[in-house]
Amino acid sequence: GSTLVIAAHNNERLFPITFNAIGAAQKIGGDVTCLVLGKGCGKVAEETSKIAGVKKILVADDNVFHGFLPEKVAPAVVAAQEQFNFTHIVAGGDAFGKGVIPRVGALLNTQPISDVTEIQSEDTFVRPIYAGNAIMTVRSLEKIKLMTIRPTCFEGAAPSGGSAETDKAPAGKSEGGDVSQFIEQKLTKSDRPELAGAKIVISGGRGMKNGENFKMLYDLADQMGAAVGASRAAVDAGFVPNDMQIGQTGKIVAPELYIAVGISGAIQHLAGMKDSKTIVAINKDPDAPIFQVADFGLVEDLFKVVPELTKLVTKK
């Protein structure tokens, strides 16, 4: 077998999810090739070539990849597939991978598998359905296995120790012309770690009452080196932006420590955090479902507890 991994990056550095995707590719077995498409992505190509276990990298540094538009990326993936006949094509299940893999599937007349959490064999994969309330084991009947992987379920490949050969990626046929155009990105700026990779995540729910009160969580997070997330209820109520949402329709996290503050524990929220190693729940309602998954539950008013906790972890 041979697997192509589509690198997710910002032309400056690889996104951590790419290391998880390479880790998943190594579990499939066979040679791993990485496709690096970008505009001014020389640094990323170099970074990718050093990853342990990557045999070859295919690089296309071209203006057409400005903004990583799926209309341009997908045909390039297809061109690489036509030249090298990979048995598997893997991308991380982030906004980029979710945008590209199904489009590649349509172009190759192949049904992809989303959000793979376990690789059982070269054609059999495990993935969650119904917001993680059921786990499906599925065998792909396709010649090419196309998939996105859930990053928290695969250990990342080591960033050094490899020396991949570099080749030019074949150009894709872009029939549509310039049907889409990248305008801009507005990324939330923060000194805190990213939600996806943070060792500690602190999340607020509807119990926070408003957006201003999230400052309490930011203060606590700064003392603990934690990232801050939110439940869908808090996002729906307009307290915080959607990119903070943890849950089935938001981000899936699995940190070492997850602290749920004022979160009741709706099914869709649990789907996004129940693989965390240790879960703490702070909620004044003793019957909140979040306590059913928490290792440590504290039935108390969060407005009293959070400042106390901040003080205690600061003293240390």
Residues in 3-62 at the binding interface with another protein, rule: CB under 8 A: 15
Residue from 221, 234, 280, 288 binding another protein (CB under 8 A): 280
Q: Min. distance of Cβ 143 from another protein in angstroms? A: 11
Q: Does 172 bind another protein (CB under 8 A)?
A: no
Residue from 50, 55, 274, 284 binding another protein (CB under 8 A): 274
Q: Min. distance of Cβ 83 from another protein in angstroms? A: 19
| Packing angle of the helix pair 214-224, 302-315 (nearest 10 deg) | 20
Residues 6+ apart with CB under 8 A from 276: 201, 253, 254, 255, 256, 257, 258
Q: Does 314 bind another protein (CB under 8 A)?
A: no
Site residues for another protein, 175-194, by CB under 8 A, read: 175-176, 178-188, 194
Give, rounded to a whole angstrom, the gap between the first and last alpha carbons of the chain: 52
Closest CB to another protein among residues 46, 300: 300
Q: Does 300 bind another protein (CB under 8 A)?
A: yes
Q: Which of 222, 218, 220 is nearest to 239 (CA)?
A: 218
Closest CB to another protein among residues 59, 101: 101
Give, in order, the Cα–Cα distances in Å from 78 to each of 35, 72, 75: 11, 10, 5
Alpha-carbon distance 200 to 8, whole Å?
A: 24
Q: What are phi and psi of 37, to 5 degrees?
A: -115, 130
CB 223 within 8 A of CB 310: yes
Q: Does 207 bind another protein (CB under 8 A)?
A: no
Q: Does 63 bind another protein (CB under 8 A)?
A: no
Residue from 54, 90, 147, 196 binding another protein (CB under 8 A): 196
Q: Does 228 bind another protein (CB under 8 A)?
A: no
Q: Min. distance of Cβ 56 from another protein in angstroms? A: 26
**How many angstroms from the chain centroid is the CA of residue 214?**
24
